[in-house]
Structure 1
Amino acid sequence: MRPLVVLPEDRPCAPCAPALPPARPKGYCRPLPPARRRPPSVLWRRIRLALLFIAVALVGSSGAYVWFRTDWPAQAQIAAQEFLGEAGASVELRLAEVNLRGRVHTPLEMLAEAVAVERGDPILSLDLDTLRRRVEAIGWVKQATVWRQLPDTLHIEIVEREPFARWQIDGHIYLIDETGRVLEDGDRPDFADRLLLVGAGASDKAQDLLDMLQIDPVLAARVVHATRVRGRRWDIAFDNGVIVRLPEENPEQAWVRLIALEQSHGLLRRDLEMVDLRQDDRLIVRLSPEAEPPPPVVTPAKKTGKRT
């Protein structure tokens, strides 16, 4: 048999030879895996959650008691404002400009009195929440947003209420919106075309009156003023001088009845002074003094028969 000959180039070199694991010492044994911890029982987990919940509730209630029963929040706010004011003054962050947006009818004098800031005031010491509340206290202002833009600008944006009618009471005229809120004292010429409401309680029922009149906008355009009688019902005055008396209960039904009478018979185009709709089963009218009296009714004379 021919012996196996290993050539030099076929011998594995040391770097390429596979590394064999070191021989284990005598008496070696493989280490055991770590023991797995037994998970806690469901009861113990519930007890821990309950204790955690009780602790959080105690801390929260204690904090709420301190917050509401002491003046610590107010003192902290005052201290923060003083600190910010001093810091703003030290770095020369002072108010130089007030930017106002959204104003249409609100007088500038009212806004200037409500804002009450001056050029040169420390901008960081301004109480924006208090300033917003003062602006929203103006009758015209429905909503106000106030913010500062460093280094020197204060922004005020307002949303105004819509003027609905003029309210006359005790010799004074006030401009009100549809909810009855007083916007301004006085009769401004630019709102002379607004509906005039007269009497105590008329402003509180302004929205109900508006909803009733809008059933027929054409007829509503002819209304000049509405008087609240004893705080219970309405007397509606039209542009031709006719007064329509509405009932205390269900005035909308009487208004619909008036619309039907106007469309079918032209009731409001006649020479009338008053139309009373307070009773459902009858219609009472009063002629105007200038109306022509109705022609006299002539009854024909009876012919006498011949005697026989």
Structure 2
Amino acid sequence: MQQRYVGSSGLRVSRLGLGTMTWGKDTDEHEARDQLVAFCEAGGTLVDTAAGYTDGRSEELLGSLVGDVVRRDDVVLATKAGIWRRGGERTTDTSRRALLGGLDTSLRRLRTDHVDLWQVHIWSDEVPLEETLAALDQAVSSGRATYVGISNYTGWQTAQAATWQRAAAGRTPLTSTQVEYSLVSRDVEREVVPASAALGLGILPWSPLGRGVLTGKYRTGIPGDSRAASPVFASFVERYLDERSRGIVEAVVRAADGLEWTPLEVALAWVRDRPGVTAPIVGARTAAQLKGALGVEHKELPPEIRSALDDVSEPA
């Protein structure tokens, strides 16, 4: 798998990342093991998790596999902090205390003394930005993180955070931003993508398959084993089951038929090669699903098809 630098940093990662949001819940230990092995055998290096994924079980499962089925030096471990589950409720806390305490917990779960990329999972209006960013500086200066980034920041938030980190000596520049980005979700192109380009951040798209919609599996209904059929995730998918998204999906399917690809490969190749993108984060429930995504490595969209997809998915 090709390797890319993350933004203007010296960090290099595979141009597809492995997402682990379902690990420890919908993805059991055996499927997780098979996913990690298949990903690394294909040349993948970037593995992304978060303290808030499945109440920490994602990090624990990943930590039990790294060093066992793959070497620690063969993966770029990325995790996030700022979203937590406390008493069964989802909370956000980007204070210095919460972030650094959460990082120590993440390191114990991951069974390592450092992560390669540590990201603030969400913006918070309740904590001063300089306090949140100071936690990133401390994580790097203490050796607990090598590179740092942000996630789910708007354009102005991205610019403010990245500029603050560049404003004084001793602060650690931001390396990346992780945001939702796909053919059905292109709003980040208005401000986040230009801000990232101007300030040297690599973009790590999450949900590059439009929360599963761009695979085409919802064209004729809602499969019983899909997220849209789950009471927990139904609302997560429903926003992309509208008329506009259906038109985009049909264009992806037509392109796939003409190329003799899968719709998944078309949608993933499109976002992987967008300006500023370093590596889409691909999350799969099973190893078989992941292997379907890994097949895109040797595929590149013809310019005329890319242009047609650009037109049909152009944001209003």
Same fold (TM over 0.5): no
Q: TM-score range by the shorter chain?
A: under 0.3
Relative contact order, CA 8 A, sep 6+: which one is greater?
A: 2
More strand by share: 1
More helix by share: 2
TM-score (norm 2): 0.19
Q: Which has the larger radius of gyration?
A: 1
